[in-house]
Amino acid sequence: MIYNGASGREGVSMPSVLNDPCHQAHAKPVWSRAWIRMGVWAAFVLMTSTIVYNYLRLILLSVPCLRPDGLEKTSFREWANDNVPTSALARWCGLDTAWTDFTKQVLVPLFSAVCTASEPDIMEHPVEEFLDYIWLTFGTHHYIVTSGVRDVVARLSANIPHIHLSSPISAIRADTENPALANILCATPDGIQTHAGFHHIVFGTQANAAVPILSSYLASLPLKSAHRRRVERLGRTLAAFEYRPTIVINHTDGSLMPDAARDRRDLNLVCLDPRSAHPDPAALPDTCLPPSYTMATHVQRPPPSYAHPERLPTLYQTTNPIVAPRAETVLSVTRLERAVLTRAGKAALPGLYRAAGRRWWESAVEAAARSGVGPLQGRGAGEPAVGVWVCGSYAYPGIPLLEGCVVSAQNVARAIVALESGSKGEGAA
């Protein structure tokens, strides 16, 4: 079965491989070809019906008010095992095996692609976030940036007067004369440059990248100050979030797509059969990740402003390749890290994010619209200090995605404005 996207509104299609028996029987009598075609369609309908049944069951299990207590501490592996149908009728109909196959062959590859994480990471991932994702995306549209990320960057930075490029921050130091200020040390081509006079520091970077910079600030604080203890707790909280490598390749190699053109979609997921022999990870090219990852290839459309899109070769963007595109087709290779949620990371989140009271029908993400920053954010109370804030995909409930970056940044901005305007900022007391 081929999923046609649009949150299920486009339905499903039969893979071309299921038509092979019909093509191979072309020379046989008409009645024989008819029986073969009927058999193929019967198999397709049966497989599709089984998947549709399990999908509808998944939607029901994801309804927030129907979830069991304690689900927030349950892993995907535990949840999948706990929900295997156990009645005699279900076992007789094979629904127990169908559910197990559905979770392993459909849900694991899907969330491996969404989270850009390996199968073991997905199996141990907290399941509440997966169910929130399923519930909130059911029947909804998915959007992409029409004019590219450069347009987004240009709009966001249009009103920022001071932008420093090629100036990585090497350290942050407390001001020796005023503890309510901080100095930022940047490495530039001309050497270390110091920028002074900051009342607030906002870390808009990976948690594991913020930890060493935060440590440099910690080392400059008085040993017995309350602010130092607060920064220490913040550093331990950030260290609880884990990251995994991700590779993104832009290329023109169509061999990573399904062989039949009619089987290709805008987004194509490929994973290796766990029963097949896997290549030795040590022998993999440096542009590939282990076969425990799901490879996602997205067909890139030319921008609307391009006058002659038919003159361009088809451009593909492959995330976490398990098969390398041909070298001569590669346009760019990007290596980065992506946050993956673990139970330890989820337990650390309340230090950065203050959850609002959830109504009985809401998921954690739906309640986040009324959320704010957590108790470890800001400058605390009792002594003059620099406000230290963090935002990112990890500082928000749910699967670490771009939405988390946006909302956590908004929460930090609102808290700083409230603090500086003299009102009570959420989580910034």
213, burial (CB in 10 Å: exposed 0-12, middle 13-18, buried 19+): buried
Alpha-carbon dihedral sign for residues 175, 176, 178, 180: positive
Residues 131 and 60: their CA atoms lie apart, in Å, by 10
Of 80, 123, 118, 119, the residue nearest 102 (C-alpha):
80
Residues 219 and 133: their CA atoms lie apart, in Å, by 40
How far does Cα 42 stand from its chain's mean position? 37
Enumerate the domain spans of the chain.
2-137, 149-241+342-420, 243-340
Residues 425 and 122: their CA atoms lie apart, in Å, by 36
Position 48 scores a pLDDT of 87
Name residue 186's amino acid.
C
Position 349 scores a pLDDT of 96
Position 62 scores a pLDDT of 96
Contact 397, 368 (CB under 8 A): yes
Q: Residue 125: helix, strand or coil by DSSP?
A: coil
Position 427 scores a pLDDT of 44
Position 425 scores a pLDDT of 46
Position 308 scores a pLDDT of 74
| pTM of the complete model | 0.89
Residues 60 and 57: their CA atoms lie apart, in Å, by 5
Position 224 scores a pLDDT of 87
Task: Tally DSSP H helices, then E strands, for the chain.
Answer: 14, 14
Tell me phi and psi for residue 111, to 5 degrees: -75, -25
| pLDDT tens digit at each of 429 positions of the chain | 787 776 666 777 888 877 766 555 565 676 676 777 788 888 888 888 999 999 999 999 999 999 999 999 999 999 999 999 999 999 999 999 999 999 999 999 999 999 999 999 999 999 999 999 999 988 777 777 777 788 888 998 999 888 888 889 999 999 999 989 999 999 988 889 999 999 999 999 999 999 999 999 999 999 988 999 999 999 999 999 999 999 999 999 999 999 888 888 889 999 887 666 666 667 778 899 999 999 999 998 876 667 677 778 899 999 999 999 999 999 999 999 999 999 999 999 999 999 888 888 888 888 887 889 999 999 887 678 999 999 999 999 999 999 999 999 999 999 999 998 875 444 443
403, burial (CB in 10 Å: exposed 0-12, middle 13-18, buried 19+): middle
Provide the 8-state DSSP code for 245. E
Position 277 scores a pLDDT of 60
Position 272 scores a pLDDT of 83
Query: What is the third-level CATH fold of 149-241+342-420?
Result: FAD/NAD(P)-binding domain (3.50.50)
Alpha-carbon dihedral sign for residues 211, 216, 222, 223: positive
Residues 269 and 105: their CA atoms lie apart, in Å, by 11
